[in-house]
Structures are given as C-alpha cells and as structure tokens.
Structure 1
C-alpha cells in the first residue's frame, strides 16, 4: 500500500466517521430528532432541512466509511458543512470557544472537497468487482474486462 492510497482511505473514513457521529450520536442520540427539528425551526429553517441534514450526515457518513458513491457523498455533504461553518461564524475561530468556533467545520469542508476531487482510494467497496457488477448497465463480463 502506498502513502497516497493510505492517505485517501484515512481521509475518506475520517470524514465519514465524523459525519456519522454528528448525525447519529449528536442529532439523533443527544438532541433527538424532535429537538434537532425544533432547533432548525427556531433559527428560521423549515423542518425538512433538519431531516435532510440528519439523513445526509448519517447516510453520507456510512457511504464514506464504506466507500460507496464516495464522490457523490462528499459533494452532497458540502451544503451541510458550509451551513455548519456559517452557524459557527459568530463564535470566533477556535472551536474551543463557547458555542464552537468555525475552524473545525471549515476543516471538514476542506476534507469533503478533497474526497470529492480524489475519490475513495483503492480500499473502498465501490472499487470491488462485486459492487461494480451491481451498477446499472454493467455486466460482470464488462467489469472483468475493465
């Protein structure tokens, strides 16, 4: 395994774990879905945005961890991460500031862009023949000859 392959894999999985943790552990487990929806509504966003954010973080996080539709998951996480950055702008730069600063959300934006540009890396479900054979318009023979 070369360093670039390892770097892509670590970056993808780290972003996926963080997204999943924020969606499942924080928004569902700690704040609850109702609490998260209530918060979004309290800042003027419709409830559907809260559901999209939770779903995007949980499903996108799992997709990134496994390496399934990696580029799509990374690019679709950007509106969520840019929104998080925007929400933390008033708290200062350092994430240790009260309410959390915007350094950490901005780092996640950079990670998502990196993964979106580079893809999953070698060690991802989407790079297996098994997965490729299940995509529309590809037969196992086409996958094997690629």
Structure 2
C-alpha cells in the first residue's frame, strides 16, 4: 500500500537527486570537457557534433526542471533519450557493470528507472509547476 502522506516527499527526494545528477553531468560537459570538446567526442562516435550542444542543453534544462518541479514528468521523459543514446553509443558495448572499462550501462539503467518512476508517480511535493494535479496537496 502506498502511504499518500509521505509518497509526495519520496518523489521530491528522487526528483531533486536525479535533477542534481543531471546538472552535474551537464556542468561537466560545459565547464570541464567544454562544449567544443564534447562536440569533438560526439563526432568521434560518428554522431553529429551539434548533438553535443543539444545534449548539454537538455541535461541542464532537464536537471533544473526536476529540481524545481517545473513540469517534472515531462522533463523526466525528455531526459530518457539522452541516457538511451549514451547506452547505444558508449556504455552498451562495455557490458552491464559500470565498473567495467568504459563503464557499463547499469548506472544509466537505474537513472532510466528513476526517470520513469517520476513520470509515473507525479511531480511530488513542493513542485513549482505540477504537470498534472497531484492527489495530495501540501
């Protein structure tokens, strides 16, 4: 049975945690690898370099949306293709475990599960702009 008194806060915790992780990964590409370096890496994978800029933007915007609870369900779904792309191009061939050389896809699969949980469960507590009405209001 779901405890409707605490469930919105569980989603809040998941939403903020996943959002901060996306912000960290977007910031890594922006400030450490640089957009040009990220574009060059994408090109080395056979991807259009412009996709790197889109990826950085989606990771940062999606992370902010999740942290704030601004259309969190939609943001969660928008972030799934980023992770599927990372599995398809980099991590999938490295096997399941993330400790494998080049990192496997287990960590990304966990992120996808968390994003689908947010999309299915709702925006959670303290959402700035709920996508749909939450059954329990703060």
Q: Please tell me the TM-score bracket, short chain as reference.
A: 0.7 to 0.9
TM-score with structure 1 setting the length: 0.81
User: What is residue 103 of structure 1 aligned with on the other side?
Assistant: 106
User: What is residue 54 of structure 1 aligned with on the other side?
Assistant: 56
Say if 2:35 is the partner of 1:33: yes
Quote the Cα distance in structure 2 between the aligned partners of 1:29 and 1:2.
Answer: 40
More helix by share: 1
> Unaligned 5+ residue runs, structure 2?
131-138
Larger Rg: 1 or 2?
A: 1
State how many pairs are aligned: 126
Q: Post-superposition, which runs of at least 4 consecutive aligned residues in structure 1 deviate over 3 A?
A: none
User: Which residue of 15, 31, 37 corresponds with 2:18?
Assistant: 15
TM-score with structure 2 setting the length: 0.85
Q: Deviations over 1:33-69 (max 9, x none)?
A: 1100001011111122111110000111011001001
- Give secondary structure in 2 for the equivalent of 1:22: helix
Pairs within 5 Å for 1:90-129: 90-127=93-130
CA RMSD of aligned residues (A): 1.4
Displacement after TM superposition at 1:3 (Å): 2.5
Higher RCO structure, 1 or 2 (CA under 8 Å, sep 6+)? 2
